[in-house]
Amino acid sequence: MTWVALLDYASVIVFALSGALAASRAQLDLVGFSFIACLTAVGGGTIRDVLLGRDFIFWVQDPTYIVIAVVVATVVFFTAHLVESRQNTLLWADAVALSVAVAAGVGVAMKLDQPAVIIALMGVSTGCFGGLMRDVVCNEVPLVLKHGQLYASAALAGAIAAIIARELALAPVLVFATCGSITFILRAGSLWWGWSLPVYKSRPPRN
User: Is residue 80 in some structural domain?
Assistant: yes
pLDDT reported for residue 10: 94
pLDDT exceeds 70 at position 8? yes
pLDDT tens digits for range 88-107: 999 999 999 999 999 999 99
pLDDT exceeds 90 at position 202? no
Cα–Cα distance measured from residue 85 to residue 160, given in angstroms and rounded to the nearest whole number: 33
pLDDT reported for residue 30: 96
User: Is residue 198 in some structural domain?
Assistant: no
User: Is residue 179 in some structural domain?
Assistant: yes
Separation in Å, CA 2 to CA 17, 26, 54, 162: 23, 36, 17, 17
pLDDT reported for residue 201: 79
Separation in Å, CA 24 to CA 20, 34, 85, 88, 168: 6, 11, 11, 13, 44
Count up the domains in the chain and report the number: 1
Q: What is the mean pLDDT of the chain?
A: 93
Q: Find the domain containing 114 and state its range.
A: 3-193
pLDDT tens digits for range 127-180: 999 999 999 999 988 988 887 789 999 999 999 999 999 999 999 999 999 999
pLDDT exceeds 70 at position 1? no
pLDDT reported for residue 203: 78
User: Is residue 204 in some structural domain?
Assistant: no
pLDDT exceeds 80 at position 204? no
User: Is residue 207 in some structural domain?
Assistant: no
pLDDT reported for residue 207: 60
pLDDT reported for residue 14: 95
User: Is residue 202 in some structural domain?
Assistant: no
Report which DSSP code applies to 56.
S
User: Is residue 138 in some structural domain?
Assistant: yes
Q: Identify each DSSP E strand in the chain by its residue range.
A: none
User: Is residue 59 in some structural domain?
Assistant: yes
Judging by beta carbons within 10 Å of its beta carbon (0-12, 13-18, 19+), is residue 172 exposed, middle or buried? middle
pLDDT exceeds 70 at position 184? yes
pLDDT exceeds 80 at position 69? yes
